[in-house]
Amino acid sequence: MPSPLPPVRPSEPISASKQNELVRRVNALSHVSAGGPLVAAHGAAGTRTALRDLRRIAVWQLTGPMERPKTDGITDDVPSAPADAVWYFDVDGYSPENRYEASPDYTRSGRVYHVAGFPGDQRDEIAALQQDVPGCLGTPLFGTGDWVYAEFNPQSARWEIMSPPEIIWRFELKTPLVRNGDRDVPSTAVAYPVVFDPDEGKYVKTDVELPAADFLDVCEGQPGDRGYAKRLADSHLDAGWEVIVMAPEDSSSSSGETPGSGSGETESSSGESAGLTTTLDVVVCEPYRIGDYLYFPQKRLSFLDGLLVGTLNLDDTQVYVCCPDSSSGEESGSGEESSSGEESSSGEESSSGAANCTNCIAGTAPASIEITLSGIGTAGCADCSFYNDTFTLTQDPANPCEYRYDFPSSSCGDGSFLLVTMAWDGVYCQLWIQGSGGGTWHVHGAWRVLIGQSPYDCSASRELALYVNDSTECEFQPGGVDATCTLTVP
């Protein structure tokens, strides 16, 4: 601080330099310095001091899904989720002990709110939906286990997630989407957002309406067709959410079409022919031979008005190419009887009496298989040890590529079952558990072995590797060691 100003004697003349020195000292004495949480401002109105605006930002891990709970009987207007704070620990400065983690000694639990969780053009409609109504969360950007940044808002006394909403949504058309022929004007339609309902285990159409627009003017669709659309800030209000991809309602591989069938040529909605609309089954690479059969790899190509809009992998077509049986003198070609008097087509029964699976080399599909599980630990259920055993699964006559074993009632709920599928790319084993609290069955543990392509030898024993571990009821990686699954054919 400057020294005190000396007094001026009466009638003493003051030079300009001395006057400037006096002014400098006065200004220095009147300037307030602030420290710590205080800030200072100087201006014509004087000097002001104020507290700093201290921001509180933390990392949180969501411990549950987004939801809109009720407070005093009123559904919250923004989604939120339970969460634990995540801390950074600097133990001793050596890796790997510097880490982010939730610690029981430090972690506090709470809720974090995604205030910006709904897109602006959909916010009012979604916020008006009541709790548990499909679509009341929009399409959440975050789910259980995700880490998020959240800032404490002193005005709302809440921790609020610092992220924008999800901007890619599923949709189902409400009105037709028809090309307009003008590349500068988007073709538009009205759609419903589609969300996934984890309780039902399926996709559900909501009652909220969403405008959809096709920037490329190449898509056409009818009510019921589904796709993905993205919200772009410059067009979503005037045109709509822009279509990324779309498929017709009957595009599922289970639509019932037989290989080689086509839908034929159709006309566009304007009544004029706009190109071929059909499906074509084509051989996509060189045929290969296994045993007495020749296999032709195929794909199904879908065309809309001459434009390729989708492809689908098909089961390889097989043709019997072996020579006549010299012992019987009878031909055994495709569609004719062999020396045993039975047809040798791809749909015949194997030597074990089982129906043939199209993904198996002819004659190798067993009537039953044995699955041995081991290393499964207990979690939510009172006792999961009874799953560690060998079980005999029988072939499903209606679905010859599937084998099933149903467990008796237990602490893990009624109707748990094992399902093995001889799929086109390999063998899959799934353990379905209802759970001790009842409810919907879903896959808690699953194993697989990838083979690459069908058909393959389904009579071979195989070791399957764990790829799904839902530890809510049973633990499939106790101590970090995977539970095992072995398939054998008796």
Q: Is the CA virtual torsion 82, 468, 392, 350 positive or negative? A: positive
Span 433-441, average pLDDT: 58
Residue 219 pLDDT class (50, 70, 90 cuts): confident
Residue-range domains of the chain with CATH = 57-161 (no CATH), 168-247 (2.40.50), 271-346 (no CATH), 368-488 (no CATH)
Predicted confidence at residue 332, as pLDDT, reads 38
Question: Across all residues in the chain, what is the average pLDDT?
Answer: 79
Span 111-119, average pLDDT: 93
Q: Could you give the percent of the chain with pLDDT greater than 70?
A: 74
State yes or no: pLDDT of 123 exceeds 70: yes
- Report which secondary-structure segment, H or E, holds 26: helix 16-30
Span 400-428, average pLDDT: 85
231-287: pLDDT as tens digits = 998 988 888 999 998 888 765 444 344 333 344 444 444 444 456 788 888 887 778
Residue 343 pLDDT class (50, 70, 90 cuts): very low
Predicted confidence at residue 265, as pLDDT, reads 44
Span 288-306, average pLDDT: 78
Alpha helices in 77-213 (DSSP H): 123-127
CA 136 to the chain's CA centroid: 18
Residue 401 pLDDT class (50, 70, 90 cuts): very high
Among candidate residues 355, 397, 389, 351, the one with its CA nearest the CA of residue 370: 389
Predicted confidence at residue 340, as pLDDT, reads 36
Residue 50 pLDDT class (50, 70, 90 cuts): low
Residues whose CB is less than 8 angstroms from the CB of residue 419 and which lie 6 or more positions away in sequence, other chains included: 402, 403, 404, 429, 430, 432
Predicted confidence at residue 452, as pLDDT, reads 77
Of 66-70, 317-321, 354-358, 472-476, minimum mean pLDDT range: 317-321
Residue with tokens 């548990």: 132
Residue type, 327: S
Predicted TM-score (pTM) above 0.75: no
Predicted confidence at residue 33, as pLDDT, reads 62
Residue with tokens 């040890």: 385
Among 35-49, 168-182, 287-301, the range of highest mean pLDDT: 168-182
State yes or no: pLDDT of 300 exceeds 90: no
Residue 227 pLDDT class (50, 70, 90 cuts): very high
Under 8 Å between Cβ of 444 and 470? yes
Residues whose CB is less than 8 angstroms from the CB of residue 220 and which lie 6 or more positions away in sequence, other chains included: 176, 177, 178, 179, 268, 269, 304, 305
145-191: pLDDT as tens digits = 999 999 999 888 899 999 999 999 999 999 999 888 888 898 999 99
Among candidate residues 371, 358, 359, the one with its CA nearest the CA of residue 406: 371
Span 33-46, average pLDDT: 63
185-211: pLDDT as tens digits = 989 999 999 999 888 889 999 999 999
